[in-house]
Amino acid sequence: MDKALKDKIEEFKSYRLDKPPLEIIEHYKKELQAIQDAMEIIQGRWKMSIIALLCNGEFRYSELEKGLPKISPRMLSKELKDLEINGLVERKVYDSIPVKVSYKLADYGYTLVPLIIELTNWGLEHRKMIMKR
């Protein structure tokens, strides 16, 4: 864990040490709302996996299906549409026969890369911890 993150965690912990719960809630209202807003956009079983794949470049729909073998076509379409609506993914339709459609991460979608890296690291550490039990 880097120093900036450790400092942020310590700052977070130190504020709440001697404060009543309602004061803590009031203090963190904006942060809590921001978390809720973010979760609305990235929640679900597949969205972060789709974003993580698209961090590696442009993919056709069928390639995404192969990369996420347990997702249904209907769910993949829905998740891609939601991500596109929220400006995280770009959809490109090629003028060809048959029609070719590809998806890539929008510039704004790349703002999630630090979160994906941290989530991946946390998931790996969590798995290790659970496997030791």
Q: Calculate the CA dihedral of residues 123, 90, 87, 32 and round it to 10 degrees.
A: -10
Identify the band that residue 17 occupies on the pLDDT scale cut at 50, 70 and 90: low
**pLDDT tens by residue, 82-126:** 999 999 999 999 999 988 999 999 999 999 999 999 999 999 999
Q: Which pLDDT value is given to residue 126?
A: 92
Q: Which pLDDT value is given to residue 15?
A: 64
* Of 80, 74, 76, residue with least CA distance to 65: 76
Q: Please, which residues have CB within 8 angstroms of residue 54's CB and are 6 or more apart in sequence?
A: 89, 103, 104, 105, 109
pLDDT at 2 over 80: no
Q: Which pLDDT value is given to residue 1?
A: 62
